[in-house]
């Protein structure tokens, strides 16, 4: 995880593209604290920092399972004054998916007009539950899940068909709907549909890994597809598609029309290709 973050922030610093807000996904502050301390020390402060013992680092965590509006208002009041010790100030919101709507809307106003020396780090284990307008104002960093995706345990014929369909979709967009039955049996049960979604999700994660870090984790034997699809997208397109796939993974648990389910997924992913 440390190498991923170091590479990411090193590239941002070298290209002078450092944002004022970051959304770090698939983790929590307790798992990230050492790596985040190093990132803050290297890129935001001039010395080694302890994120839990620094007057210019403010941390918000859920209380009774929620982050509420009053927490954000208190944060804003704390940041009205300049630091007496450092140029930069940082606030960290752990489990950002647990902000209620009032808190999220209050934070949104804070994110929309960032001060030059204030930086936000939002950490979430479920990006799908973070308000979309907040996601749009952050640079999104997707870390790998702790659960390792093992491609070897999946029938290679199924994987081949799914990857071929992804390639068809990326090249033909909505026209691919006419051929979806050649690759995916829409009469399959929920478990098979969930498997297809898992393959698609981790494939796009590898596309993102390749685009940002020039690294492929799970789909090494499909590197030609990874490289081809990376040329057809930008990073935001891939992140938007991953967000959609997370949403659809949650939806498949409910009583949905599986025939329409996949069609709607393809339509929404096509829209994400151009946003």
3-class DSSP state for residue 124? Answer: strand
For residue 2, what pLDDT band results from cuts at 50, 70 and 90? low
**What mean pLDDT comes out for the span 179-198?**
83
**pLDDT exceeds cutoff 60 at 148:** no
Report the CATH superfamily, name and number, of domain 2-142.
P-loop containing nucleotide triphosphate hydrolases (3.40.50.300)
For residue 146, what pLDDT band results from cuts at 50, 70 and 90? very low
For strand 21-25 and strand 89-94, is the pairing parallel, antiparallel, or unpaired?
unpaired
> Which tokens is 111 given?
């994110």
> CA 147, CA 183: separation in Å to the nearest integer?
27
Distances (CA, A) of 89 to 20, 39, 44: 11, 14, 8
Specify the pTM.
0.63
Domain ranges of the chain: 2-142, 151-272
> Strand pairing partners for 119?
90
For residue 107, what pLDDT band results from cuts at 50, 70 and 90? very high
- For 241, other C-beta atoms within 10 Å of its C-beta total 23
3-class DSSP state for residue 56? Answer: coil
- Long-range pairs of 208-211 with CB within 8 A, sequence gap ≥ 24: 208/142, 208/235, 208/238, 208/239, 208/242, 211/235, 211/238
Interval 44-54: pLDDT, tens: 998 899 999 99
Which of 5-14, 27-36, 221-230 has the highest mean predicted lDDT (pLDDT)? 221-230
At residue 69, the pLDDT reads 96
At residue 261, the pLDDT reads 86
Interval 15-45: pLDDT, tens: 777 889 999 988 899 989 999 999 999 999 9
Nearest partner of 266 among 133, 157, 176, judged by Cα:
176
**What mean pLDDT comes out for the span 149-167?**
91
Domain 151-272 carries which CATH code? 1.20.272
Do the domains 151-272 and 2-142 match in fold?
A: no
**What mean pLDDT comes out for the span 135-156?**
78
> CA 43, CA 12: separation in Å to the nearest integer?
10
Strand order in the sheet with 21-25: 57-60, 89-94, 118-124, 21-25, 139-142
Return the axis-axis angle of helices 235-251 and 258-272, rounded to nearest 10°. Answer: 160
**What mean pLDDT comes out for the span 128-157?**
81
Interval 56-77: pLDDT, tens: 999 999 998 999 999 999 999 9
**pLDDT exceeds cutoff 80 at 252:** no
Helices (H), the chain: 2-14, 29-43, 69-78, 101-112, 132-135, 156-172, 190-213, 223-231, 235-251, 258-272
At residue 3, the pLDDT reads 66
Return the axis-axis angle of helices 258-272 and 190-213, rounded to nearest 10°. Answer: 10
Mean pLDDT of the chain: 87
**What mean pLDDT comes out for the span 186-198?**
82
At residue 250, the pLDDT reads 75
At residue 260, the pLDDT reads 84
Name, in order, each residue with C-beta under 8 angstroms of 211's C-beta and a sequence gap of 6 or more.
230, 233, 235, 238
At residue 253, the pLDDT reads 67
Q: 73, exposed or middle or buried, with CB in 10 Å at 0-12, 13-18, 19+?
A: middle
At residue 187, the pLDDT reads 67
């Amino acid at each position: 995880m440390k190498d991923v973050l170091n590479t990411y922030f090193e590239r941002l610093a070298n290209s002078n593209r450092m944002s004022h807000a970051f959304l770090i996904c698939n983790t929590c502050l307790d798992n990230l604290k050492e790596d985040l301390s190093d990132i803050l020390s290297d890129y935001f402060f001039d010395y080694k920092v302890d994120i839990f013992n620094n007057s210019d680092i403010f941390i918000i965590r859920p209380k009774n399972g929620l982050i509420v509006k009053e927490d954000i208002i208190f944060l804003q009041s704390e940041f009205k004054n300049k630091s007496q010790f450092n140029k930069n100030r940082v606030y960290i919101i752990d489990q950002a998916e647990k902000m209620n709507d009032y808190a999220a809307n209050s934070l949104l106003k804070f994110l929309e007009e960032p001060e030059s020396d204030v930086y936000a780090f939002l950490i979430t284990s479920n990006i799908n539950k973070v308000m979309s307008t907040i996601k749009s104002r952050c640079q999104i960093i997707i870390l790998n899940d702790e659960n390792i995706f093992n491609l070897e345990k999946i029938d290679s014929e199924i994987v081949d068909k799914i990857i071929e369909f992804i390639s068809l979709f990326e090249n033909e967009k909505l026209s691919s709907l006419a051929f979806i039955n050649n690759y995916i049996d829409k009469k399959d049960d929920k478990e098979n549909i969930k498997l297809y979604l898992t393959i698609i999700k981790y494939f796009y994660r590898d596309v993102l890994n390749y685009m940002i870090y020039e690294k492929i984790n799970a789909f090494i034997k499909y590197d030609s597809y990874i490289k081809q699809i990376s040329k057809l997208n930008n990073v935001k397109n891939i992140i938007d598609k991953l967000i959609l796939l997370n949403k659809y993974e949650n939806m498949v648990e409910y009583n949905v029309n599986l025939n329409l389910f996949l069609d709607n997924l393809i339509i929404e992913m096509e829209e994400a290709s151009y946003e």
